[in-house]
Amino acid sequence: MRVSAVIAAGGQGTRVGGDVPKQLQKLGGKTLLSMSVKPFDKCRRVNEIVIVLPEAFKETESTMGIQSETPLRLVSGGSSRQDSVALGLDNVQKDTDVVLIHDAARPFCTVLLIEQVIDATIEAGAVVPAIQVIDTVKQADSTDTTGSRFVKTTLPREQIYLAQTPQGFALNVLRDALKLGRSGVTATDEAGLVEQNGHAVRLVEGDVENFKVTTSDDLQRARDRINSELFGDGQHTRVGFGYDSHRMVSGRRLVLGGVEIPYKSGLDGHSDADAVCHAVTDAVLGAVAAGDIGQHFPDTDPQWKDVSSIELLSKAVDVVSGRGFCVGNVDIVVIAEQPRIGPHVQAMTERLSGTLGVSPGSVSVKGKTAEGMDSVGRGEAIVVHAVATVVQR
């Protein structure tokens, strides 16, 4: 019995926000995508994994760094989920018996659930894990002219289930259903196409923790779970300290924490001279005894000329992850006479948290002045101090 897993990761995930699709955003030093792949890699009954990605991200370092002992293939997705799944199916081995379709935005799937879906698919040919609703379900009518909605009817909740993935299909069952999709029939999941193609779909018990990350609130829930797992087990926590300072000069952009701040002058340096990112980079590297920013990104190397320091920080986070740790939180003090830091703290916090793979609540940015003293007080320089914790995974 040969089993192929297709991980649908071709969407852009715009409702979550951020600079990259949600499946490439990091939680605890790992992307949602890599977390979603892991249980399929651990399941010995899965013979291959096909990941369907947006074309622009198919060859990025973050996706190529996925750890998998199971044979793995990356393919480009299409314009819709149905198209992407069809392209993934085109790339599975021809002797596949069972195909599992899983959303990359479900990072907490278990090997046990995968096993249950495989067993049921062998018997039924089409299977969906699902959770029975516990709340009373109301069907609404159309919105009226005032924007109000009213209950049309109350549905029997014992008949209402919330579908999850992985969904399992016999190869020929899924292939025939996707042909229906290519003819113009649409559905929100593969089981919907299989149903419309006349094949019965069996339900198996899903997992309440196998939730889908769709919105920023979902992403926060996932981060909270990861942080709880990391910090709640008494695992090894380490602390690093970072410091950076740069002269203010005319003719340069002022970039702090990955955010461009309108001002008459900027910081002088080989890269974009983002002193906040530099201090945080030193802090996270120091916490795992991995040297400092100058060792990893020397100003004598032309490849780092004018580079975004957010990119350097992201690479530092990868170093931390490679040593078996992830970032816990950071605390940053920016000492600058002008411009005022306060109005830009939220934007800096959001940019830094996304790069570090932590929630915004785990990033603190504080602005201070030098009260007119020394070069900082005269507006000639900006100084940043940062403290970071990292947690052993």
Domain boundaries, the chain: 3-214, 235-392
The whole-number pLDDT of residue 392 equals 82
Is the CATH number of domain 3-214 1.10.645.10? no
What separation, in Å, do the N-terminal and C-terminal C-alpha atoms of the chain show? 34
The whole-number pLDDT of residue 148 equals 84
Omega of the bond prior to 339 within 30 degrees of 0, cis?
yes
The whole-number pLDDT of residue 13 equals 53
Domain 235-392: give its CATH superfamily.
Answer: 2-C-methyl-D-erythritol 2,4-cyclodiphosphate synthase (3.30.1330.50)
Spans in the chain with pLDDT lower than 50: 61-62
The whole-number pLDDT of residue 226 equals 80
**Prediction pTM value:** 0.66
Q: What is the H or E stretch that residue 334 is in? A: strand 325-335
Looking at the DSSP bridge assignments, the partners of residue 122 are none
Burial level of 258, CB count in 10 A (0-12/13-18/19+)?
buried
The whole-number pLDDT of residue 61 equals 46
- Rounded CA-CA distance 335/369 in Å is 5
Q: Closest Cα to residue 317, out of 309, 325, 305, 307?
A: 325
The whole-number pLDDT of residue 23 equals 80
Long-range pairs of 76-79 with CB within 8 A, sequence gap ≥ 24: 76/10, 76/52, 77/8, 77/9, 77/10, 77/11, 77/52, 77/53, 78/10
